[in-house]
A and B are shown apart, each in its own frame.
Chain A
Amino acid sequence: MTFKSALEIDCGLRYMYDSLCIMSSCGRKMLLSSDMMTTKSDIEAYYGRLNDIYKHDCLKIAHKLMYLKDIHNTLSRLSDGSTLDDIELFEVKHLAILSSQIRNMLTEQNIEAITLPQLDKVVEILDPDKLNIPSFYIYDSYNEALREVRKQMKAIQAQGDDIAEDKRQELAMLLQQHADLELQVREQLSQQLLAYVAPLTDTLDNLSCLDILIAKAEQIRQMNLCIPHIEEEKYTLYNNMFHPQVKAHLAEQGKAFMPVDITYEHTPVTIIGANMGGKSVVLKSLALNQLLAQYGFGVAADHCNINPVEEIALCIGDEQSIVKGVSSFAGEILAIDAVIKKIRAGRKLLALIDEPARTTNPVEGTALVEGLLEVIDHCNGAFILTTHYNIENSDVKRYRVKGLNNGQMDYTLEETHCGDVPHEAIAIAESLGIDSQWIEYTKKNLNN
């Protein structure tokens, strides 16, 4: 799955992407097309590099990366054997000089996360006068005849506007000669540069990658994220997990986000708790953090162990589709069915399901959820659902949101062994200040 398609998962990944300060368009493009990492070795190697960048102050390099241009098209034209024009040669020279500047900065700081190929030869080819500035034209020193033609052109131009007809013709001829000579030089240069297509492409890709790493490191600082431990066999664990987008939103209202701890393995997990207890936020946080880890971002927790999966399935009950003509219930059931099929096929999945069968009657709903947990009983990845139903299954791990405590919501998750759901709906409804008569009649009905 590419990062671009992962952005479609409604868990707050887009918020993380939007707040990522990538300087170059090729960096952004590289991130969007990057595939999710699924093995411990890949992820750990990537975090090794990210950590290296994180430990250093890369602000100056980031400023340099603002000048990085995507010249993949130019490079592919070069490798096709085409003759580059002035603008393309400028792009190549610009990249080579930028890269050597950044290369020096990396060496100065002992950063090893990125290695940039040596491009001194390319600079040499495109900077015959050793001016060491990133501008470019077909310099006189490339070709003696060119120098001579330009001298003659200048001499005629110096005579002003009213030049005689024969001079005008001479100038036109010189211009033609000049164009031919320049083309000749450009052909030679393109030929010489052909040998450097691979290191130039490498440079462009490595600089894009550096841009992404610096942006991720900066995000870790700004959002207080952590670098996770990757555990392929063991359980997944989060200490003080949070959701950056919800946290920022709450901070705007002067409120604090209450982080949660959660641990799970291959046994299915149920999360029960009062309405407005943050169950859906927990599911979204789990999906988000799993994605963050597998795309090499900082993870929103104080500390965590993460078991990589092949796929993340987040069903939050909005599968209703007017276009497809299915009701909210049908949409949801079909989405869960797809998850079951994948688990059966042995795919390593992190399945997160928010209140399955919530839109039907409680009797059948409870049965459906119990049935679902029995079907799953054990999976390759992890299976977590939230529910309001009293689930009797024995072979599940249960979490409960602490819930209302002196009128204040306590979002902490605690492990529990009984399936009894809390009865706090009316208290919460009351705290929302709804119609008092409605509350009164509800309580009367409940006591009958």
Chain B
Amino acid sequence: MPFISEILQYDSLSIVGLEKNVGKTECLNYILRRLPLHNTRVAVTSIGIDGENKDQVTSTKKPEIYLREGMFLSTAESHYRERRLVSELIEITNERSSLGRIVTARVVVGGKALISGPSSGVSLRRWAAGIKRYGIDLTIIDGAISRLSSASPAISKAMILSTGAALSSNINTLVQKTKFVVEMIGLNILEDDSRDTLCDIEAGVWGIDIEGNLVDFKITSALAINTLKVDITKGMKIIYTVGALTDKLLNLIAESKNIKNVTLVVKDFTKIFVSETAYRTFCSRGGNIRVLQKSKLIAVCVNPTAPNGYVLDSDTLCRKLREAIKLPVYDIVKNEYDI
């Protein structure tokens, strides 16, 4: 099981699932059990509620998060009171979630706990910065279901993606859907002199013309792209949308004659909300997308069991997925990999 050593090369890791019940928490537990703690200080939190005993939607059993002695955890105070481990309370942070203030503690005797950390990306970033003062080497964020935002490179440098039969019970569809997400995560970083300029922009849709000048299209987001009556690609080499990238903008550029000369840029893959069809059309016409920041996808974990009881063949799934995405794929529950 090689990915533990790879995780240790990064100072932050997020674990995100493409759907509920794809084995994200098992994956997290798997990692937490195997991290070498004698020389690494680890802090664990999650975005939003996570670590419930039961899945809130489908009422299927969910594995709890097991924390070992010496690990740090940040969770909401009401969940802290219910913990089943011995821990030393270190700080009551200024972050809040719907479950109360977020507290940070160090585990004294290992055990299980409910982890529900800061509920927004911004407060998660503040948390990550604040916890550094305890000499943390690795922060692990348990991402929320179908909220990839916690895997944003602005929050964590490395990520592990969980997928499984809960997303689709057809192997080919499952592979196809996962492959598309992996492709988005793997989009290359923009290599252009304007990259630093674009990184500083906080909202709107912008362009860089062929002479390298910054152009503001004066719309608040790509959602309002229809209000522009001009061809925004004209004379541009880069179109940058700070917020969400949707099919609408993608189709608009795909229809433009200038598509081959213009690069579409987004902040990072978490801002991409396009359908695969629209993306394929865009690419086949010669379009290309670049990101400003990229996170390292370390591995993909699969759970071949769907909450309704349907089970896919684990080996076939892993093999097909591995072939499609050219990355390590693991079924953690089935195979008790050795370190």
Contact = CB atoms under 8 A, between A and B. Distances in A.
A69 B92 contact: yes
Interface in B28-46: 33
Nearest to A161: B33
Contacts of A86: 80-81, 89
Nearest to A136: B89
Contacts of B103: 87
Contacts of A154: 69, 109-110
Given A137-B108, A153-B109, A157-B109, A87 B88 contact: no
A157 B88 contact: no
Contacts of B89: 86-87, 90, 135-137
Nearest to B91: A135
Contacts of B84: 175
A402 interface: no
Contact of A137 (B69, B86, B91): B86
B204 interface: no
Interface in A83-117: 85-87, 90-91, 94
Contacts of A378: none
B87 interface: yes
Interface residues of B, number: 20
A178 B83 CA distance: 12
A383 B179 CA distance: 79
A85 B77 CA distance: 11
Nearest to A135: B90
B307 interface: no
Contacts of A161: 33
Contacts of A135: 88-91, 106
A397 B261 CA distance: 79
Given A90-B92, A136-B88, A137-B87, A157 B110 contact: yes
B121 interface: no
Contacts, number: 46
A77 interface: no
B328 interface: no
Main SS at interface, chain A:
helix
A178 B111 CA distance: 12
Contacts of B110: 154, 157
Contact of A85 (B81, B86, B105, B106): B81
A178 B33 CA distance: 23
A178 B77 contact: no
A137 B89 CA distance: 6
Given A69-B92, A85-B81, A150 B109 contact: yes
Contacts of B88: 135-137
Nearest to A171: B111
A272 B284 CA distance: 78
Contacts of A87: 77, 80-81, 89, 92, 103
A91 B92 contact: yes
Contacts of B33: 161
Nearest to A137: B88
A37 to B, nearest CB: 32
A135 B80 CA distance: 15
A154 B110 CA distance: 7
A87 B100 CA distance: 12
Given A136-B88, A136-B89, A157 B111 contact: yes
Nearest to B104: A135
A69 B77 CA distance: 15
Contacts of A150: 86, 108-109
B285 to A, nearest CB: 51
Nearest to B112: A175
A363 to B, nearest CB: 55
A154 B84 CA distance: 13
B275 to A, nearest CB: 41
Central interface residue in B33, B86, B103, by most chain A CB within 10 Å: B86
Nearest to A160: B33
Contacts of A153: 86, 109, 111
Contacts of B111: 153, 157, 175
Nearest to A162: B336
A374 to B, nearest CB: 59
17 contacts: A69-B92, A85-B81, A86-B89, A87-B77, A87-B81, A87-B89, A87-B103, A90-B92, A135-B91, A135-B106, A136-B89, A137-B87, A137-B88, A137-B105, A153-B86, A154-B109, A161-B33
Interface of A: 69, 85-87, 90-91, 94, 135-138, 150, 153-154, 157, 161, 175, 178
Across the A-B interface, the 8 shortest Cβ-Cβ residue pairs: A137-B88, A135-B90, A90-B89, A157-B110, A135-B88, A136-B89, A153-B109, A150-B109
Interface of B: 33, 69, 77, 80-81, 84, 86-92, 103, 105-106, 108-111
Given A87-B80, A136-B88, A137-B89, 7 more contacts: A87-B103, A90-B92, A135-B88, A135-B106, A137-B88, A137-B108, A150-B86
